[in-house]
Chains A and B, each alone.
Chain A
C-alpha cells in the first residue's frame, strides 16, 4: 500500500506538515482557524523530530501486523483489509492509550481519543505530502506485503 515516507536528508524542519495536517483534520479546514482559533485544537498526526541539522517527519507506518491493533482493548483500532489503512473508530475508542504504549515508531498522539494518521482518507495525496515544500515527504508504495 501507499504510505508516507520521510526523507531525512531533505527535511527542512519547517514543520509545515504539522500545520497542514492539523488543518486537514480540523472542523473548518481553514489554516488560520484550525491552527489558532479552533477549540478543541486539532492534533497533528505527523510530528517532525530532530533539529535543524537533521530532522524527519514521523507518522503512522500502517504496519502489516500492527501492534496498536493487537493492543487495542476495545476493537477501536483496526486495519482495513482492503486499503490497509490503520484507523481509530472514535465511537469505540475509550482513550486508554495502550496503542501509544506499544507503537514502536511513536506515531500515536494523545487526544480525547487516540489520534493517528489516516492518510487523509478520500484525498489523492495526504495533506502533509501535498504541502511539503521540499518533497521530503513522499506518498508511494514501496511494495512488500503491506
Chain B
C-alpha cells in the first residue's frame, strides 16, 4: 500500500568496504539488511531504518552509513513536511500518534542560557585534586528546629534520611518499558556508585533482590507489583502522580510485552494489557494524597521517606507546596523534556513546562512559605551533561534524576521508537533475541564511567566557584547568570542577567 510518506533515512552500503559478513543482516530488527538468495551478498532496504546505528556501530569495516533521505517538499513554514507526514500517518491508521524519548521540538533550553560563575582573586577557587570535595547528598525531611542536651547531643528525632554519594540518581524506568538487563545494569551501577535506581511502576523483579538497598520503588496509578515487601525492599518509596513527557496521561504497556517475567513482577496475568490510569483513582485532592502517603509510611514502619513525583505543569509551585503539606519527604518534578518509553506525540510535544522554570518556581514558593526544609527537591527532565546538573542544583534542586544519559551510555541512539519494542540495543524491548544484546556486565561499567566522569566535572566546576560542598551550591542562584533572557524569565529563574 502506498502510504504517502517518504522514508526517513537511507542506509548506504559502500560496496568497496563491505565484506558481506552479514553482521548487519543478523543485527537489524527492522530488517533493513538482507542477503541475496545465494546468501553471499548483503543488500539494503532502507524503508524501516530508524537510524539506531546498530549496524553502523558493529560493522567491522565501516562500510555502512546512514543518511537523511532527502525528498524536498515545496517550502512552507507553516505546513512543514513533519506535519504533512503526521497527517498522512493518521489518515492511514486513524490512531493517536505515539513516540518514544523526550520531545525533539526546538523549545528553549534554559540550561543553555544560564552561565556559571567562577572565583577570581577573592574567595579563591579550590583544586579538587588537592582538596576534598563533598558531593554526598542527603535526601529526606529535615527537622524544623534543632534541640540539644546540655552536652550538645541532639535530642531531635530525625526523620528517615537517604544518603547518596552523588547528586545524580537514575529516573524511573519500569521493567516492561525497558529490559531486565537494562534495569539490572542501572541497579549494578547504582550500587557501585552509591546512588539509587528507580523501579518505575513495573514492580521489582526477583533477579534484582540484591539491589533493594539502592532501589526506589514506585507506586503509580496502576499499583502494579505493590505489596508490603515491595515497599519495604527499598531506600524510599515514590508515588508517581505524573511524568514530564506525558502529564495528565496514564500509561499503557501492550499485552504482547507482558511476558511471564513482566507478569510476575507486575502481578498481572500474562498477556494482559498493563494499563496505568491517568489519575490515581483514590486521589482527588491533597488530602487524598496525604492519606496514601500516610498509608505507605504505616506500611514501612515510618522507616522510608516517601517521595511524590509530579510533572512540571503550569501551577507546579502550588502543587509542590501541597505535596509538601501532604507529608511528602521528597518531591520529584519532571520537566516536559523528560523521556518516556511511549507517549502520545501531541502530549509529549505540547504539554507541560520546562524543568528550569518549574524548579526555580517551586523552590522559591517553598522557601517563601517557609517549608523548603520539610522536603527534598529532585529535578528531572533531561540533563545532558554535568553542567546541567550543577545549574539545577544552584537553582534549588537537592538531586537530579537522569535516565536518557545512562541509556545513551548503554547504546541508545535516540531513535525515538521505543514504543515499537524492536530496540536493537536491547534496552526498550522484551524480545529475548534483543535483550541479550545488553550485557549488564559491560553496561554497568559504562554507566558508572559516565557518572564518575560527571562527578569529576561537578567537583571541578564547584572548585572553580570556590565551593567545596554541594550543600553550599544548593539554591545558590548567585552562581548563575542568564544570557539573552527576558526580565520575566530572569525573575522566574530568580537569577541576574550576565553582566549584572
Contact = CB atoms under 8 A, between A and B. Distances in A.
A16 B60 contact: yes
A132 B249 CA distance: 42
Interface string B404-432: 00000000000000000000000000001
Nearest to B61: A32
A11 B433 CA distance: 9
Interface in B1-53: 17, 19, 21-23, 26-27
Contact of A135 (B26, B433, B439): B439
B433 A19 contact: no
A26 B19 CA distance: 15
Contact of A14 (B26, B61, B439): B26
B60 A12 contact: no
Given A134-B442, A135-B441, A135-B442, A12 B61 contact: no
B23 A15 contact: yes
B27 A14 contact: yes
Interface in B33-88: 58, 60-61
A10 B439 CA distance: 7
B441 A14 contact: no
A104 B433 CA distance: 28
B26 A19 contact: no
B63 to A, nearest CB: 9
A52 B426 CA distance: 13
A32 B17 contact: yes
Contacts of B441: 135
Contacts of A15: 21-23, 26
B446 to A, nearest CB: 12
B437 interface: yes
Contact of B21 (A11, A16, A53): A16
Contacts of B22: 15
A135 B185 CA distance: 15
A81 to B, nearest CB: 34
A16 B61 CA distance: 11
A32 B61 CA distance: 6
Contacts of B290: none
Contacts of B23: 14-16, 19
Contacts of B58: 14, 16, 133
B51 to A, nearest CB: 19
A53 to B, nearest CB: 5
Contact of B26 (A10, A32, A35, A52): A52
A52 B439 contact: no
B89 interface: no
A76 B432 CA distance: 43
Contacts of A32: 17, 19, 61
Contacts of A20: 60
Contacts of A16: 21, 23, 58, 60
A12 to B, nearest CB: 5
10 contacts: A9-B436, A10-B439, A12-B436, A15-B22, A16-B23, A31-B60, A35-B19, A133-B58, A135-B439, A135-B441
Interface of B: 17, 19, 21-23, 26-27, 58, 60-61, 432-433, 436-437, 439, 441-442
Given A9-B436, A18-B21, A53-B433, 7 more contacts: A11-B436, A19-B19, A32-B17, A35-B60, A35-B61, A52-B433, A134-B437
